Amino acid sequence: MPWDDIPDSNVFQTGSYQVIGVELKEIFAANGKLMYSMDVAIADHPKTAMYTNMHYFENFVVGSDDDPEATVQGTWAQSFGAKRLKQLIAAAQIAEKADMDKIMASFPQTQFGINLLHFNEPEKDRDGNPNQYAGQERNKLNSFWKIGEREPEIEPKKAVPGAVKPAVAPTAPPLAPVVGVAPAIPVAASPLAIPTPAAMQPTPVAPPVAPAAPAAPAPPVVPVPPAVAPAVAPAAPGAVQMLPCNLCGQQIEATQFATHINACMEAQAAKTVAAAK
């Protein structure tokens, strides 16, 4: 199967093609107008090999609204289809120039060239109305040429007009910091945690800017001062040594100081949590 040599459709690419006449016949259109229908086959040529033996059809309308059967000489003179038909007869080098019956009989096996344009149907018709055939591929016959005047040639395919590249989602910009909102205050993992002396120093915080709908402020965390045993001079032999508690201010026997200070710290912490609530 010669995959790359098989056309995707019966529509030809824009280019010049050498053709062989198959049939030229007289018919009438649906509206009753006289016209001539041409059938040609693409001749074998290296430049157009992929289209060899494919057929191209074209109609030449001669009749008019006032003279559908083209019985008046002036109708032929004014008809665009008649002018194209004359160009066809000249390019095919048919000797007969007057008798259409003889011209049609002489047409088969004649050789000549045609120039075709590939296009897509527009979104709207000439009157600006929606085109029911919008987007469909078509061919338009531009002109004829005699054998020897030029060589067959196919133009490279072009992008379809109006094609839109797929949209790429833009990368979200980095979030800017919210101006005027105070940073969150870290909460201690446990109310019994004892901060270091350096942590006891308050950190100045800029006053927050009042938002439109202020939220309830988070309860402040009140640090518990560390229990530090004061330096006390050694007592006289036999005397009971007393130590002051820097939390409650009481004098506590040295042997009971550790137990007291733990109980006092728990009581102070409980009061701090209750006050925060």
DSSP E strands in 50-135: the ranges are 55-61, 111-120
Nearest CA to 93 among 29, 146, 31?
A: 146
Contact yes or no for 88/104 (Cβ under 8 A): no
- Whether residue 256 is predicted with pLDDT greater than 90 in this model: the reply is no
Q: What is the pLDDT of residues 119-130, one digit of tens each?
A: 999 999 888 999
Residue reference for tokens 């004649």 = 110
Least confident of 104-118, 139-153, 165-179: 165-179
Confidence of residue 7 (pLDDT cuts 50, 70, 90): confident
Q: What is the pLDDT of residue 195?
A: 47
> Cα separation of 211 and 180, whole Å?
8
- Whether residue 85 is predicted with pLDDT greater than 80 in this model: the reply is yes
More confident site: 65 or 5 = 65
- Whether residue 133 is predicted with pLDDT greater than 60 in this model: the reply is yes
Q: What is the pLDDT of residue 235?
A: 52
- Whether residue 226 is predicted with pLDDT greater than 70 in this model: the reply is no
More confident site: 257 or 1 = 1
Average pLDDT in the 216-235 region? Answer: 51
At residue 184, φ and ψ (nearest 5 deg) are -65, 140
Q: What is the pLDDT of residue 5?
A: 73
More confident site: 259 or 49 = 49
Q: What is the dihedral of CA 4, 10, 16, 21, to 10 degrees?
A: 120
Average pLDDT in the 170-174 region? Answer: 51
Q: What is the pLDDT of residue 42?
A: 97
- Whether residue 249 is predicted with pLDDT greater than 80 in this model: the reply is no
Average pLDDT in the 211-224 region? Answer: 53
Least confident of 33-47, 74-88, 205-219: 205-219
Average pLDDT in the 131-160 region? Answer: 89
> Cα separation of 124 and 6, whole Å?
32
Give, rounded to a whole angstrom, the gap between the first and last alpha carbons of the chain. Answer: 85
Average pLDDT in the 18-27 region? Answer: 98
- Whether residue 98 is predicted with pLDDT greater than 50 in this model: the reply is yes
As beta bridge partners, residue 116 has 15, 141
Percent of the chain predicted with pLDDT > 70: 68
Mean of pLDDT over the chain: 79
> Cα separation of 238 and 251, whole Å?
18
Q: What is the pLDDT of residue 203?
A: 54
Residue reference for tokens 């988070």 = 218
Contact yes or no for 28/34 (Cβ under 8 A): yes
> Cα separation of 59 and 72, whole Å?
20
At residue 270, φ and ψ (nearest 5 deg) are -65, -40
- Whether residue 78 is predicted with pLDDT greater than 60 in this model: the reply is yes
Confidence of residue 202 (pLDDT cuts 50, 70, 90): low
At residue 71, φ and ψ (nearest 5 deg) are -90, -15
